[in-house]
Structure 1
Amino acid sequence: MKKVLFATTALVATTGMAAAEISFGGFGRFGLVYDEGNDDQDTRIEQRFRLTATGTTTSDNGLEFEGRIRFQTDDQDNGASNVANNSAAGFAVSTGGFRLDVGHVSDVLDSGDVVDYYGFGVGLTSSLEQSTGFGLPASGFGTGDADVPPTVKLRYTVGDFTVAASVTDDNDITDTDFDGATGVNTSTTTDREEYQIGVGYNFGNYSVGFAYGNEDGSEVEVITGGPDAGTTTTDIDNDFWALSFGGEIGALAFSILIADYDANDDTSYGFSVKYDVGAATEIRFAFADTGIDDDDEVYGIGFRHSLGGGVSLQGGVGELADGDTFADLGVVFNF
């Protein structure tokens, strides 16, 4: 779910300038989703189309520059599809083992540079993962209609070691939500700074990683209309960390995650596995304990079967943190 395949490439060159590469790639998926807790429509058509455009070039001194933007359309809770949203831009500069990402980019947790936060997702939509419901502030590259806080991330890899650090500034980012049925308008303004730092190590078929971070600031929620009208200010000062260990043993691949977040009641933990039952078919299982007292345990089992040409049949069933059954089935094709 977090990866984009770039399968088509156009080469653009001008006299006296280094060659620049423009590539387009993404995926599409469609099928059925059953969500017991969806009051609008518990069974609906699932659909997503994602297109990412990436431009790259290399300077005379060998620095590699990259910029990208994404377009995506999804289904809604009522089964309808939205008009395609676009993303803010993300940029990167890299040379040797160094890479600097700036703008709308993944932080340390989301990027997977050092910690395997998501593991092997289950089902067509990967809605059941080893970190489902953990709540740690892992933010990445996506689409939407709200302002996007900038992130700066630096990564350095030497041999089997990787170190990474990121800073995200949510300074005066406002998100609004209007409920036409009730006439209630909710406006949330976040003034928050977050940093993360981590280290990872690969040894043979195994890898281990650790990341630590802190978020500090405030959130102001203004509700206009309805019985809850008013202004609420919430101070934010949370430490968090995540530790992962994973690897492969023959046809079996596994990932184990332990995390702690001040905003949760207890330590969170989860694991996921993938087992190849043939050249084209794999079985997946994921489990998560969110560390929140009122939450149920998250678990699910599913499969992926390759049809060739970047096309696969995927499905799964399980239970979400609210205790509701979730299931999906459909086709994913990468391009």
Structure 2
Amino acid sequence: MKKVLFATTALIATAGMAAAEINFGGSARFGVVYDDSLTTDELQIHNRFTLNIDGSVETDSGIEFFARVRVRGGNTGVAGLTNSGVSAPRVGMSVAGFTLATGNILGAYESAPGIYDGAVGLTGLGWGNLVGNTTVAAFDWDSFSSAGAGSNGVEVIYSNAGFGAHLSHSPSNDRTALNASYNFGDWTVAGAYQDGTTTANDKWALTAGGSFGNFGVGVAFGDNDGLQKWRLNGSASFGAGTTVTAYVAEEDTAGVDMNYGLGFTHSLGGAVLAGGVAGTAGGTTLADLGVRFSF
């Protein structure tokens, strides 16, 4: 994400002095969404705004201390507008490939490479591409809350020479998660595991994906307390800035439909036109179309 350094940055001076800065950056999107499960107003107006506020200071010994809060607001549908919210902070330090963070943590399962591969549309269209999302539960893992308190936990992240590892724990949710990954050239393999307060939060996933030329492929498999789900995804790029992405996914629950998604993005030179259509396990058809941009 592009970050804009404001004139409020300070102490970038002589050797021996700390280098401190504040960065503002974010993204926004707007468009229309369609949901055929609604009895009225199946086609609705949608928008969202996100602003990240990042502060950091680097000591003369090379340790970086950092903090982030996020402002997010958005609205979908015909109801009155809702207010934007401010997230709880994520605060920590980084040195020599290690990051220690506390508070509104990212979460190790959420951050595993490949977990979100195959996403389509402007809004994600139900996120049926995630093998951790099932008809029983969705998003039942620790993750950074964009406009709320989050998980109030602690996490350690390590990255070096293509290898990555991430361990997180949230006392507030009593969840412990771990992911490990390895990147070799244009390909990445990863695994993630979470142990929760209830068996419903116990889950693991394996992902693999990569690219060759203008094409990308990926596969994922997840076990959610015995409920298994798989996903296949692919993408192809054409011409000047157009990419088509698709996925199919299915859980082993009797009587539910296969998840599918088909979407596209097209560069507008500073913004992206995005849209897609998806079918949920419950038989609902979702679609969207709009523009998103970063600043």
Using the size of structure 1 for normalisation, the TM-score is 0.79
Q: Answer whether contact 1:119 1:129 (CA < 8 A) is retained.
A: no
Q: Within 5 Å, give how 1:90-129 maps onto structure 2.
A: 90-112=90-112, 115-127=113-125, 128-129=127-128
**Helix, strand or coil at the partner of 1:109:** coil
Partner of 2:74: 74
Partner of 1:308, secondary structure, is coil
- Residue 25 of structure 1: how far off its partner (Å): 0.9
**1:142-181 → structure 2 map (5 Å cutoff):** 142-144=145-147, 147-170=149-172
Residues 5-24 of structure 1, C-alpha deviations (whole Å, 9 max, x = no match): 23311252248851211111
Partner of 2:143: 140
- Number of matched residues? 286
Looking at structure 2, the residues matched to 101 and 58 of structure 1 have their Cα atoms a distance apart, in angstroms, of 16
What is aligned with 1:226?
A: none
For 1:277, which of 222, 225, 238 is the aligned residue? Answer: 238
For the Cα contact (< 8 Å) 2:246–2:261, is it kept in 1? yes
Show CA shifts across 1:267-309 (max 9, x none).
1111222210123100011222134435322111111000002
For 2:63, the equivalent position in structure 1 comes to 63
Q: What does residue 21 of structure 2 align with?
A: 21
- Name the CA distance, whole Å, in 1 between partners of 2:266 and 2:79: 26
Alignment-mate amino acid for residue 138 of structure 1: W
Residues 105, 38 of structure 1: CA spacing in aligned structure 2 closer, same or farther, 3 A cutoff? farther
Hey, what does 1:288 align to over in structure 2?
249
Q: Which residue in the other structure is 1:267 paired with? A: 228
| Identity, % of aligned positions | 32
Deviation at 1:158, TM superposition (A): 2.4
- In structure 2, distance between residues paired with 1:271 and 1:198: 20
CA distance in 1 between counterparts of 2:69 and 2:40 reads 32
Q: CA deviation at 1:27?
A: 0.9
For 1:10, the equivalent position in structure 2 comes to 6
Corresponding residue of 1:316: 276
Deviations 1:72-93 (A, max 9, x none): 1111444543211111111231
Structure 1 residue aligned with 2:288:
328
Task: Evaluate the alpha carbon distance shift between residue 136 and residue 257 of structure 1 in structure 2; reply closer, same or farther with a 3 A threshold.
Answer: farther
Q: Distance in 2 between matches of 1:210 and 1:143?
A: 25
Q: Secondary structure at the match of 1:267?
A: strand
Counterpart amino acid of 1:329?
L
The separation in 2 between residues aligned to 1:275 and 1:292, in whole angstroms, is 31
Match for 2:234: what amino acid? V
CA RMSD, Structure 1 to Structure 2 (Å): 2.1
Q: State the alpha-carbon separation in 2 of the partners of residues 108 and 255 from structure 1.
A: 20
**Distance verdict in 2 for CA 1:117–1:210, change over 3 Å:** same
> Is the 8 Å Cα contact of residues 52 and 69 (structure 1) preserved in structure 2?
yes
Counterparts of 1:161 and 1:251, CA distance in 2: 25
Q: TM-score, normalized by length of structure 2?
A: 0.89
Q: Counterpart in 2 of 1:211? A: 192
**Cα displacement (A) at 1:247:** 0.5
Unaligned runs of 5+ in 1: 171-191, 218-235
Q: Contact (CA 8 Å) 2:140, 2:201: kept in 1 or not?
A: no
* Alignment-derived partner of residue 178 in structure 1: none
SS in 1 for 2:281: coil
Tell me the SS of whatever aligns to 1:140.
Answer: coil
Identify the range of structure 1 (20-29 vs 36-45) with the bigger mean alpha-carbon deviation. 36-45
Name 2:177's counterpart in structure 1.
Answer: 196
Say if 2:246 is the partner of 1:247.
no
Distance 1:125 1:79, change over 3 A: farther
Q: Secondary structure at the match of 1:48?
A: strand
Evaluate the alpha carbon distance shift between residue 7 and residue 157 of structure 1 in structure 2; reply closer, same or farther with a 3 A threshold.
closer
Aligned to 2:44: 44
Q: Which residue type is aligned with residue 131 of structure 1? A: L
The answer as to whether partners of 1:207 and 1:246 remain within 8 angstroms in 2 is yes
Aligned partner letter, 1:8: V
Distance 2:237 2:285 in 1: 26
Q: Deviations over 1:155-185 (max 9, x none)?
A: 1222121122111222xxxxxxxxxxxxxxx
- Structure number having the greater strand percentage: 1
| Greater CA drift, 17-26 or 321-330 | 17-26
